[in-house]
Structure 1
């Protein structure tokens, strides 16, 4: 399949399953930086290939075949992120950018070899689960976004969901990395802000940040 097709089904999967956002062609177009007409044409084309269900004015829904393709692309992306992070100690932003290119040029054979080399990791450096070679995510997600965390409780950062360099730079500078222990000091519901303590520093974060930082309870 072409890069355009793989990116299209991957974007639908990410919006629908991971972010619970609108998957109408217009929103897909915005995410992929293409015209609404191009997104609609692609949706119609892929519906004839049994990759998705297209109905006018309704959100796009992947078929089982389309979801399997999306997960295969996501698997390769996250394996490349893991390899680049482990071998070259690249930043979380840089490994994402490079993996976006490499995921489309990777055979299933090479993906399996990378997985074996890394010891079949279940999570990438961002904390996102890596599907197995059958396209199945075998881990159970028990995380909560920081904006929904309970005041006075202690958590561990488990996922950082972004592709924005400034976000990752800020997180690195302030100790907001996977595995870091944080305390939720206060949830400001009116202003949608969260006060936390991490590495003995107190930070006040707005919802743009706290909705893309995932936490697990500290044990």
Structure 2
């Protein structure tokens, strides 16, 4: 499959898992920076190959074949992120950019070798689950956004859902990394802000941050 097809299928998968769950061709076009007409044309072509389910004016859906393809691409992407982070300590933004390129050049054999080298990780450095070789996500996501966390409790950062460089630079500078512990000092409900304590520092975050930083309760 071409890079364009792989990116198209991956975009449908990821958008289908997002909060907006918008997989209409026009929205997929925006994600991929292509025209709506090009997205519709691609969807129709992939429907003929039993990769996508296409109905006019309806959201796009992946077939079983398409879902398996998407999970294979996602697996390779997240394994590369994990490897680059381990070997070179690149920023979360940089590993994402590089993995976007490398995922398309990676065979199933190489993906398996990378996974074995890393100890078959279940999560990448962003906290996103890594599908196994059979295209299955075996972990159960119990995380919640920081905006929903309770005052006075401690949590473990489990996911950082973004590809924005400034976001990751801020997180890195303030210790907001996957696996680190944060304590919720105060939830400012009306202003949609959250005051947290981390590494003996106090930080106030707005909803732009607290809705894309996910945590699990620190039991």
Q: Distance between the aligned counterparts of 2:148 and 2:47, measured in 1?
A: 37
Aligned twin of 1:136: 136
Once residues 28 and 169 of structure 2 are traced to their aligned partners in structure 1, the CA distance between those partners, rounded to angstroms, is: 27
Aligned-pair distance for 1:198?
1.1
Equivalent pairs, count: 219
Q: Give the deviation of 1:20 after TM superposition.
A: 4.2
1:19 to partner: Cα distance: 3.6
Aligned to 2:52: 52
How many Å separate the matches in 1 of 2:123 and 2:164? 20
Question: TM-score when scaled to structure 1?
Answer: 0.97
Residues 1-219 of structure 1: pairs in structure 2 closer than 5 A? 1-219=1-219
> Matches of 2:108 and 2:138 in 1, distance apart?
19
Q: Matches of 1:6 and 1:18 in 2, distance apart?
A: 18
Unaligned ranges ≥5, structure 2: none
Shift of 1:159: 1.0
Matches of 2:13 and 2:20 in 1, distance apart? 9
Displacement of 1:152 in angstroms is: 1.9
User: Moved runs in structure 1, 4+ residues, more than 3 A?
Assistant: none
Give TM-score, length-normalised by structure 2.
0.97
Residue 57 of structure 1 and its aligned partner are, at CA, apart by 1.1
Alignment partners' CA distance in 2, 1:211 and 1:72: 27
Give the Å deviation of 1:126. Answer: 0.9
Can you list the C-alpha shifts for 1:146-193, whole angstroms capped at 9, x where unaligned? Answer: 111122221010111111110010001111111111111222222222
Question: 2-side partners of 1:76 and 1:82: how far apart?
Answer: 10
RMSD (Å), alpha carbons: 1.1
Runs of 5+ unmatched residues, structure 1: none
Distance 2:68 2:196 in 1: 39
